[in-house]
Chains A and B, each alone.
Chain A
Amino acid sequence: MEWEAVIGLEIHAQLATRSKIFSGASTDFGAEPNTQACAVDLGLPGVLPVLNKEAVRMAAKFGLAVGATVAKRSVFARKNYFYPDLPKGYQISQYELPIVAKGKIEIELESGEHKTVGITRAHLEEDAGKSLHEDFHGMTGIDLNRAGTPLLEIVSEPDLRSAAEAVTYLKKIHSLVRYLEICDGNMQEGSFRCDANVSVRRKGADKFGTRAEIKNVNSFRFVEKAINFEIERQIELIESGGQVVQETRLYDADKDETRSMRSKEEAMDYRYFPDPDLLPLIIDDAFVEGVRKTLPELPDAKRERFVKDYGLSNYDASVLTTSRELAQYYEAVVKAAKGEAKLSANWVMGELLGALNKENKDITQSPIGAQQLGGMICRITDNTISGKIAKQVFEAMWAGEGDADAVIEAKGLRQVTDTGAIAKIIDDVIAKNPEQVEQYRSGKDKLFGFFVGQVMKESKGKANPGQVNDLLKQKLDNK
């Protein structure tokens, strides 16, 4: 039996505002518990929410970036449930009239094929606090610093057909919100979270199967594993005669499995209704146009430009545009390297990203600045150093030993391009290896490499490889 998975994602992106969505408390991460939870966040009697303009602007910015409609009029609703991390007894969210509706985004599948994923809606809501279940004599500790942090909940259409597709889409949205500077994308700190709705159906069927919702999975890898586990679980369940129940499931990364959180019987009844504390949100054209002006070049456009202007492959351009910071870094390197786009791409993607990965750093933490790397590339193109020696220079710059020029001087790495000096080394090598010379001249061409190696070794790697090749050929062949 052939099965097909149907997946939709609900992404919660914490908006990078300074203050909360409905109060003037700070949203900084990592403060002492409850020091950033004011009367509004605590839901004390008599308080009133006042909406943060910046949160509205950021939601609209996202809407424009995914070609969605930014609603002229949207409405906040109360989603009722009792849970101590939300002391009001309800979450302020948007229900029937969200601020962003009907967008779409294109993803590139592993096969190279492009696929458009629908974005049903994106709405503004407030985050809840955190519950800590350990060490409080059988009680639960509540930290409400996070309560009231603005969230943009981005809901996709059930357009995704595999865990890999879901992760590709998730990464795309992750990259987009960071490009837009509306969310820092930090998954460990919970700034970017994801719930997955997963169901399976027989291939070719047009009705969806019953879905299960997997809650709050906090890394790309776990999203993929959780969805794959859930697909397998549902297929096995149905094939053995069972039925999938609509429920919320939690992914346990240690056991690599999902398990039931709430059963259908106690399913939540949220009883949404318009929040009487908040008037409808009215946005005029001027506001939307103002936001449109702040849109940066988006990842897809940037990638296309990199291919066109720098002559990069689609793959290289995709890697270099994964984040806005990396793209900026790369462009600065190219500029400093006087337009050596391809060589710059090789160094950024090869040595630099490799070294950063090894130390678990991102591009903003690179010990080598773009100017420095570009400067080093100039020394390769003007023949001061060879590509091989450049790796030594790179390592020295990484270790904080200064710019390329300083390193080259201090370590005496300048390439030998003086023909006389190289010829002298070649003569020595030829004199020292009469047997090999004989063999080479009697037709053993492969030995050429041996001579190049010897000359490079004698010059401590500093002889210009092109000149060594030319001179060596002359001297070996013309005698």
Chain B
Amino acid sequence: MSLSRDQVTKIAHLARLDIAEADVAKYQSELSNILTMVEQMSAVDTKGVDPMPHPFDLGQRLREDEVTESNQRESFQAIAPQVEAGLYLVPKVIE
């Protein structure tokens, strides 16, 4: 399976990766190779096999509903680029 240039740019955009125009062809071929490799698995007959959501054959453990976290805002905000009035500030995101 081979990806188009547009597909590569779209994947990059969805992952918020800024890739150089000159590198698109390289990613195109590398990603296509990966997909070709994965495609080999399609040859396996999976009829009657449940999809595997996780490699471990276990269920998850649950937590009791208790408040165990205290307010650590000061420490968290000490490493934030910009804060004000207790809020984290980010570039404007109105749609």
Binding site for B on A (CB under 8 A): 17-19, 23-26, 32-39, 42, 44, 50-56, 73, 75, 80, 82-84, 96-97, 131-133, 136, 138-144, 261-262, 269, 271, 274, 276, 278-282
Which of A35, A138, A144 is within 8 Å of B71, CB to CB? A35
Q: Which residues of B contact A73 (CB under 8 A)?
A: 59
Q: Given A25-B69, A274-B53, A278-B60, is A82 in contact with B91 using a C-beta cutoff of 8 Å? A: no
Contact B63 A136 (CB under 8 A): no
Contact A24 B53 (CB under 8 A): no
The smallest beta-carbon distance between B18 and chain A, in angstroms, is 13
Contact B59 A36 (CB under 8 A): no
Q: Which residues of A contact B62 (CB under 8 A)?
A: 50-53, 56
Which of B69, B72, B85 is within 8 Å of A26, CB to CB? B69
Select from chain A the residue with minimum beta-carbon distance to B16.
Answer: A82
Q: Given A143-B87, A276-B54, A279-B60, is A35 in contact with B14 using a C-beta cutoff of 8 Å? A: no
Select from chain B the residue with minimum beta-carbon distance to A283.
Answer: B59
Q: Which residues of B contact A144 (CB under 8 A)?
A: 88
Contact A35 B73 (CB under 8 A): yes
The docked-state distance in angstroms from the alpha carbon of A269 to that of B12 is 12
The docked-state distance in angstroms from the alpha carbon of A35 to that of B51 is 40
Select from chain A the residue with minimum beta-carbon distance to B64.
Answer: A53
Interface presence of B48 (CB below 8 A): no
Which of A34, A44, A53, A271 is within 8 Å of B63, CB to CB? A53
Which of A17, A142, A261 is within 8 Å of B89, CB to CB? A142
Q: List 11 A-B contacts (CB under 8 A).
A: A19-B67, A24-B67, A32-B73, A33-B87, A34-B77, A34-B86, A38-B72, A50-B62, A51-B60, A279-B58, A279-B60
Q: Which residues of B contact A97 (CB under 8 A)?
A: 53
Which of B65, B69, B82 is within 8 Å of A38, CB to CB? B69
Q: Which residues of A contact B93 (CB under 8 A)?
A: 83-84, 131, 140
Q: Given A34-B76, A42-B76, A51-B60, is A140 in contact with B65 using a C-beta cutoff of 8 Å? A: no
The smallest beta-carbon distance between A49 and chain B, in angstroms, is 9
Contact A24 B69 (CB under 8 A): yes
Q: Which residues of B contact A17 (CB under 8 A)?
A: 65
Contact A280 B60 (CB under 8 A): yes
Which of A44, A136, A271, A281 is within 8 Å of B60, CB to CB? A281
Q: Which residues of A contact B91 (CB under 8 A)?
A: 139-140
Interface presence of B92 (CB below 8 A): yes
Candidate in B68, B72, B90 with the most chain A CB atoms within 10 angstroms: B90
The docked-state distance in angstroms from the alpha carbon of A139 to that of B16 is 20
Which of B51, B54, B63, B87 is within 8 Å of A132, CB to CB? B87
Interface presence of B61 (CB below 8 A): yes
